[in-house]
Amino acid sequence: MTLRKTAILAAATSALAMSAANADTIKMAFIDPLSGPFGPSGEAAYTSYLLAAEHINANGGINGDMIEVTGYDNKVNPKESLLQFQKAIDDGARYIMQGNGSSVAAALIDAVDKHNKRNPGDEVLFFNYAAVTPAFTNELCSFWHFRFDAHADMKMAAITDWIKTQDDIKSVYLIGQDYVFGQAVASAAEGQLSEKRPDIEIVGNELHPLGKVKDFTPYIQKIISSGADAVITGNWGADMQLLTKAAAENGSDVPYLTFYGGSKGAVSSLGDQAVGMLHQVSEGVTNLEANEEQYALIEEYKERFPDYDYYYHRVWNVMDMFKKAAEEAGSADPIPVAKALEGMTIEHAYGTATMRASDHQIQQPLFVSVVSDDVKYGVDNIDLGWKLVDNGTIAMDVAEQPTTCEMERPG
């Protein structure tokens, strides 16, 4: 065989192999930190996606196609994320998942919009599973973006509703990360507290650099000397863990009302002190009543990834909704999937979730839970775990917040 013939044959077979691969795999790109101070946050979600995809594939995939989830490490850096986004697209991904850091999410929403405008027919969808700055489903909303986590105003509504019932809380300290998300949390807390409990005094409103503080002792001592009865924080990842570590060392024992107290290591660094003190608001709690299937899933996750705990329940909601949408649309192409996702409702282990069509913000019940030593599933490989507080269930319609989104939809 001549060299030319060989070359033609090679080109033909590789083209064939490629088209076969494209028909059989739905490539999804996970763009989040897989190293550094927020590495564990990314890793816990990434492993959840891998397991969810594995289960879908084992049950015949989506319309017969297999899902392939690939991780891209963005180091929580918007610039790096855009490089990884381009890499993911070059690798053939049509769906991207990201959640750690609203600064990154903002850059990706913009990048996806631009990409879709310039490449009709090659659109990309962005499944945001954890970046909760309210603006993304309000003034910055986009048809290509779907958020599967309750945003900061919704979570804050759950926290302030709980505070409303706690008469002994007279003053509150706000501490957060100094970027768009931490600022959103602080302003949500100020606004909602002045409405629901105007008698509460906000004795501190502190923003610290994101992921840079290695020792929160000075901050904790400020909290202690302010005499606050409760602390509200949106901190996540290492910033959450180190905050609780310093709280334990310095003996700060007021209730901590958090968005992400479930961050790896936060409970274990507080130890027994966490009981009755560390609260979080989330869309699922492993120690809620659930069916056997859910218990089996929690146990399988723990067995497969012993360093982490089943925490990212919403990742399963992302994948279940995606599967249902692609099957309803009869296609895994982004535009039909996006249209099917609008207004879609699924039943998940802890309730019902609906993707609101007007702003692509998921609506679901939220749960306020607290660390307890009397639980079925512990976290951080110790016996302490999350338990629902009294009246801790916030119904879907109570958690719902209005939107100002005016979305441009493709023709």
Partner 1 sequence: METLVFGLLNGVSYGLLLFMLSSGLTLIFSMMGVLNFAHASFYMLGAYFAFTISGSSSFWIALFLAPVLVGLIGAAVERYGLRRVHPNGHVAELLFTFGLAYLIEEVVKIVYGKTSVDYRVPDLLNFAAFEVYGASFPAYRLFVIVIAIAMLIGLWYLLKKTRAGLIIQAALSHPHMVGHLGHNVPLIFMTVFGIGCALAGLAGVMAGNIFVTDPAMAIQMGPIVFVVVVVGGIGSLEGAFVASLVIGLLQNLAVGINASFADIFGFIGLSELSEVGRINISSLAPVLPFLLLVLILIFRPQGLMGEKEL
Quick one: tokens of 401?
């917040």
Q: Is 217 one of the binding residues for partner 1 (CB under 8 A)?
A: yes
Q: Which range binds partner 1 by CB under 8 A, 5-13, 23-31, 216-224, 296-304?
A: 216-224
* Of positions 115, 222, 339, 356, contacts partner 1 by CB under 8 A: 222
Q: What CA–CA distance (Å, rounded) separates 328 from 365?
A: 25
How many angstroms separate the most distant Cα atoms in the chain?
88
Q: Is 392 one of the binding residues for partner 1 (CB under 8 A)?
A: no
List the interface residues with partner 1, window 39-78 (CB under 8 A): 39-40, 43
Q: Is 29 one of the binding residues for partner 1 (CB under 8 A)?
A: no
List the interface residues with partner 1, window 261-280 (CB under 8 A): 265
Nearest CA-CA partner of 202 in 188, 181, 182 = 188
- Confirm if 147 and 361 have CB atoms less than 8 A apart: yes
Q: Is 204 one of the binding residues for partner 1 (CB under 8 A)?
A: yes
Nearer to partner 1, 34 or 230 (CB): 34
CB within 8 Å of 197: residues ≥ 6 apart: 160, 163, 164, 169
Q: How far is the CB of 250 from partner 1 (least distance, A)?
A: 5
Q: Is 201 one of the binding residues for partner 1 (CB under 8 A)?
A: no
Nearer to partner 1, 22 or 221 (CB): 221
Q: Which range binds partner 1 by CB under 8 A, 35-43, 113-121, 388-396, 401-409?
A: 35-43
- In SS3 terms, 71-105 reads as EEECCCCHHHHHHHHHHHHHCCCCEEEECCCHHHH
Q: Is 238 one of the binding residues for partner 1 (CB under 8 A)?
A: yes
Q: Helix 313-329 and helix 334-341: axis angle, to 10°?
A: 110
Q: Is 19 one of the binding residues for partner 1 (CB under 8 A)?
A: no
Burial class, 251, CB count within 10 angstroms (exposed 0-12 / middle 13-18 / buried 19+): exposed
- Dihedral sign for Cα 78, 82, 85, 91, please: negative
Binding site for partner 1 (CB under 8 A): 34-37, 39-40, 43, 178, 204, 206-209, 212, 214-215, 217-222, 224-225, 238, 242, 249-252, 265
